[in-house]
């Protein structure tokens, strides 16, 4: 009897695209509940519009433009893209702008390259950066937390990131006294995008994903560690720069480090490559935040390093099975 040899993999670990995508969605639930608690109606409208638009555009592009019969909206990737895009938006953003962002995220950031697994850049960040460049006023007008029934008429205020940038621009360290307390920033009672509400809940979601082996620790730890070290050095050299604890809990740093930089498709495959990738994102984030035109640098840093992921994979290949290293 001739042996039958099948193609690899020969052992299945039980993972699937659908399982991992919905696992990330579950990890986002605590932060989602917090955003609804702090921003109420505005958060509900933004998140519902973003998710529905991403799912609709992926279905329409797959069926009517690409001509594929297989339905891809059930794998959870479009839902996750919609959630992450919504988490990067203000809670008072008009619906029509959200729809444009979803179309750009799915149509250009994802489906243009062939769909899930083939996109070189994180689709949600592609949509977010497109909106930031196209609608800078609307995308940088941040409502205060606690206005649960307000939407387009919400009262706006300066975010922790804008206060930090004002302190650097003016050279006056006393401006940092306007920052919320560490407890408020850590728990989430600050203005900003929906994904800036609670560093604690985002960290809990990250720990859940590590526990479920959806992601590894390499990227979140390397990003947060790099930002913490560089921020500590800057603060020690000049008090005009915020303390590391304030920097870590501000803006989209936690959301980006835990949920966006860890995207399977656009991040390196090896542990060594992921650490290099994370360190570079941390360095770029600190540079853009402190000396760039925009207070938030996380989105740009991740997209820049997405472009370097193939190069990192080339030079950080895992050792082949049975390979002998020459001395």
pLDDT in tens, 95-104: 999 999 999 9
> Does 226 or 13 have the greater pLDDT score?
226
Distance CA 146, CA 161 (A): 19
Asked if 96 and 192 sit in the same domain, the reply is no
What DSSP string runs through 64-120?
A: IIS---S--GGGSHHHHHHHHHHHTS-TT--HHHHHHHHHIIIIITTGGGTSTTT-S
Residue 146's pLDDT is what?
66
Q: Give the mean pLDDT of 77-92.
A: 93
Q: Give the mean pLDDT of 271-277.
A: 95
Asked if 297 and 168 sit in the same domain, the reply is yes
> Does 325 or 98 have the greater pLDDT score?
98
pLDDT in tens, 25-57: 999 999 999 999 888 888 999 999 999 999 999
In a domain, residue 221? The reply is yes
* Strand partners for 143: 156
Which residue range forms the structural domain that includes residue 79?
Answer: 17-139
Asked if 104 and 211 sit in the same domain, the reply is no
Q: Could you give the number of structural domains in the chain? A: 2
Residue 302's pLDDT is what?
96
Asked if 49 and 124 sit in the same domain, the reply is yes
* Strand partners for 156: 143
Asked if 74 and 178 sit in the same domain, the reply is no
Q: What's the chain's average pLDDT?
A: 88
Asked if 129 and 173 sit in the same domain, the reply is no
In a domain, residue 318? The reply is no
> Does 120 or 322 have the greater pLDDT score?
120
Q: Which two tokens stand for residue 107?
A: 């149509």
In a domain, residue 148? The reply is no
pLDDT of residue 326 exceeding 70: no
With the C-alpha atoms ordered 71, 75, 77, 82, is the resulting torsion angle positive or negative? positive
Residue 64's pLDDT is what?
86
> Does 94 or 13 have the greater pLDDT score?
94
Residue 17's pLDDT is what?
82
Residue 110's pLDDT is what?
93
Asked if 130 and 54 sit in the same domain, the reply is yes
In a domain, residue 155? The reply is no
Asked if 185 and 108 sit in the same domain, the reply is no
Residue 184's pLDDT is what?
82
- Split at pLDDT 50, 70, 90, the class of 325 is low
Residue 150's pLDDT is what?
66
Residue 314's pLDDT is what?
92
% the chain with pLDDT above 90: 57
Q: Is 260 exposed, middle or buried (0-12, 13-18, 19+ CB in 10 A)?
A: buried
> Does 75 or 81 have the greater pLDDT score?
81
In a domain, residue 6? The reply is no
Asked if 98 and 176 sit in the same domain, the reply is no
pLDDT in tens, 141-178: 888 776 666 666 666 767 888 889 899 988 888 988 98
Distance CA 148, CA 36 (A): 8
Asked if 62 and 178 sit in the same domain, the reply is no
Residues 202 and 258: beta-carbon distance below 8 Å = yes
In a domain, residue 4? The reply is no
Distance CA 89, CA 93 (A): 7
Residues 91 and 42: beta-carbon distance below 8 Å = yes
pLDDT in tens, 232-246: 999 999 999 999 999
Asked if 173 and 134 sit in the same domain, the reply is no
Asked if 129 and 168 sit in the same domain, the reply is no
pLDDT in tens, 187-218: 877 777 888 888 999 999 999 999 999 999 99
pLDDT of residue 323 exceeding 60: no
Residue 296's pLDDT is what?
84
pLDDT in tens, 280-295: 999 999 999 999 887 7
Residue 128's pLDDT is what?
95
- Split at pLDDT 50, 70, 90, the class of 186 is confident
- Split at pLDDT 50, 70, 90, the class of 67 is confident
Listed residue (100, 244, 56, 48) closest to 164, CA to CA: 244
C-alpha gyration radius of the chain: 21
Q: Give the mean pLDDT of 57-70.
A: 84
């Amino acid at each position: 009897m001739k042996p039958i040899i099948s193609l690899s993999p020969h052992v299945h670990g039980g993972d699937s695209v659908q399982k991992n995508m919905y696992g990330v969605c579950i990890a986002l639930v605590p932060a989602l509940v917090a955003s609804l608690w702090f921003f109420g109606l505005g958060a509900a409208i933004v998140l519902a519009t973003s998710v529905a638009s991403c799912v609709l555009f992926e279905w329409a592009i797959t069926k009517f433009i690409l001509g594929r019969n297989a339905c891809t909206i059930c794998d959870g990737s479009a839902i996750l893209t919609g959630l992450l895009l919504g988490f990067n938006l203000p809670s008072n953003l008009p619906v029509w702008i959200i729809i444009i962002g979803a179309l750009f995220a799915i149509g250009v950031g994802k489906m243009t390259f062939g769909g899930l697994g083939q996109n070189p850049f994180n689709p949600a960040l592609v949509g977010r950066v497109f909106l930031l460049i196209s609608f800078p006023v609307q995308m940088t007008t941040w409502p205060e937390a606690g206005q649960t029934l307000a939407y387009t008429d919400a009262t706006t205020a300066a975010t922790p990131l804008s206060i930090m940038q004002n302190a650097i621009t003016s050279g006056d360290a006393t401006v940092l006294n306007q920052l919320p307390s560490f407890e408020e920033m850590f728990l989430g009672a600050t203005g900003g995008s929906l994904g800036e509400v609670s560093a604690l809940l985002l960290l809990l979601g990250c720990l859940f994903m590590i526990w479920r082996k959806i992601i590894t620790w390499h990227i979140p730890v390397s990003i947060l560690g790099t930002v913490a070290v560089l921020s500590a050095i800057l603060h020690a050299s000049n008090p005009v720069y915020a303390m590391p604890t304030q920097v870590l809990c501000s803006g989209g740093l936690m959301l980006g480090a835990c949920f966006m930089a860890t995207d399977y498709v656009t991040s390196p495959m090896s542990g060594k490559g992921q650490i290099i990738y994370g360190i570079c994102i941390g360095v770029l984030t600190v540079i853009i935040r402190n000396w760039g035109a925009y207070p938030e640098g996380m989105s740009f840093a991740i997209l820049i390093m997405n472009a370097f992921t193939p190069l990192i994979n080339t030079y950080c290949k895992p050792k082949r099975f049975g390979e002998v290293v020459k001395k």
